[in-house]
Homo-oligomer: A and B are copies of this chain.
């Protein structure tokens, strides 16, 4: 019989200290978002293969772990020529299941509906350092609110949550970047790019942090756009001054390209969020923020932290996506928190591993201890537990030194050896 000790490729066993850290963060996330009226929901980890392969999921659809049909269904599919051997797949994100969930349960939910999801997703990606095939996503979404109250709630709640978490490692500073897909579109159109090329142009602009304006210029010219159009486009992004407001940036954009209300609503988001933030947390209008996903339709946002070259949260408005899945239009805006990235940052700054943070006692019993003595120890443990301590009762090992060391590593401090 073959028995394989290691976990499935690209997946992790969580040690007790990992779990203590993760559960602690889960509970802070849950508590903060709940105070903003978000409600936790859960969907099965398996989804219909049809829903997962609807072409809305982009490249993730290539990374699905497919679940085989079973019994007669499987045999029929196999005999019929090797097609459609799977009827289900493991979810690759939490957005497809949310769309299905909302279509299925809408009548039982308030509108707007503020959802919190924390759960595993699976992608058959090439495993790399820090990139796993099973990992946790944490998303909040507001469905059915077409006003910017949704964005203000999403951003404020997330900033509050991150402030609390990072306070534990004495980090107080991070930056919220905000932009709007309609502004990105308007700038490109006014420069002279055709509507159908905007996605491609934004893919170039998205590289601003990596290759700079010169790199973008080179790429756009290589893609065959006219020097004049490219120059006009990039001049807008030259010499952007710190603290630029959305109104200032958009001053030169014609009303035919951009509705004035888009700009005023952006300013409103900024002005409402700012007074809600703790010292050290900044929100800035960032006209070069693009965010990769094609489905965004309005405000987009991202959170960065000094010393890390990845964002720790990102999101935006995606009014058309749920309708594409479910056939029923629903305005939607969401924020996805990079849970695994936040864990990485916390571990970088923690002194050692996460203990259980309570008084911890272990009673180590010699094998000759009498029933009467055992009874006494158990009753004593009961009292200590009721007073809030962690207490474990176990047999004393021959190598008691190592036994105690391993228990100390988990956070126990007191050890009582019990002999008859």
What residues make up the interface of A, taking CB atoms closer than 8 Å to B? Answer: 1-8, 11-16, 18-20, 23, 27, 30, 34-37, 39-48, 50-51, 54-55, 65-68, 70, 78, 82, 85-86, 88, 90, 100-101, 103-105, 108-112, 114, 120, 122, 124, 134, 145-147, 149, 152-153, 156, 160, 267-268, 271-272, 275-276, 325-327, 356, 360, 362, 365, 367, 371, 374-375, 378-379, 382, 385, 388-395, 397, 403, 406-407, 409-410, 412
Q: How many copies does the complex hold?
A: 2
Say whether A403 contacts B110, CB under 8 Å: yes
**What CA separation (Å) do A103 and B2 show in the bound complex?**
14
Closest to A371 in B: B268
Which B residue sits closest to A88, measured CB to CB? B8
Separation of A88 and B367 alpha carbons in the complex (Å): 43
| Nearest-Cβ distance from residue A138 to partner chain B, whole angstroms | 14
The 8 Å CB contact of A4, one of B39, B51, B371, B407, is B51
CB-CB under 8 A from A152, the residues of chain B are 374, 378, 393
**A to B CB contacts below 8 Å, 19 in the list:** A3-B325, A4-B51, A5-B103, A8-B48, A11-B44, A13-B41, A13-B42, A19-B40, A36-B390, A36-B392, A37-B362, A37-B393, A65-B67, A111-B403, A145-B394, A145-B395, A149-B395, A267-B371, A272-B374
Interface centre among A7, A20, A410 (most CB of B within 10 A): A7
In whole angstroms, what is the CA distance A147 to B11 when docked?
34
The smallest beta-carbon distance between A177 and chain B, in angstroms, is: 20
Contact of A379 among B109, B112, B275, B388 (CB under 8 A): B275
B406 engages A110 (CB within 8 Å): yes
Write out the residue numbers on chain B whose beta carbons fall within 8 Å of the beta carbon of A6.
Answer: 104
Instruction: Out of B48, B66, B412, name the residue touching A68 (CB < 8 Å).
Output: B66
Determine whether the beta carbon of A114 is less than 8 Å from that of B392: yes
Question: From A47, which residue of chain B is reached at the shortest CB distance?
Answer: B8
A100 to chain B, nearest CB (A): 6
Say yes or no: B147 contacts A391, CB within 8 Å.
no
How far, in whole Å, are A8 and B124 apart by their CA atoms in the complex?
Answer: 21
Using CB atoms, name the residue of chain B closest to A156. B378
- Point out the residues of chain B lying under 8 angstroms from A88, CB to CB: 8, 65
Contact A391 B39 (CB under 8 A): no
Residue of B3, B11, B271, B326 touching A3 (CB-CB under 8 A): B326
Contact across chains for A109 and B19 when beta carbons are under 8 A apart: no
Q: A20-B40, A110-B406, A268-B371 are in contact. List 18 more A-B contacts (CB 8 A).
A: A2-B50, A4-B48, A4-B51, A7-B100, A11-B44, A16-B39, A45-B45, A65-B67, A66-B67, A67-B68, A67-B90, A110-B407, A111-B397, A145-B395, A149-B393, A152-B374, A156-B382, A275-B379
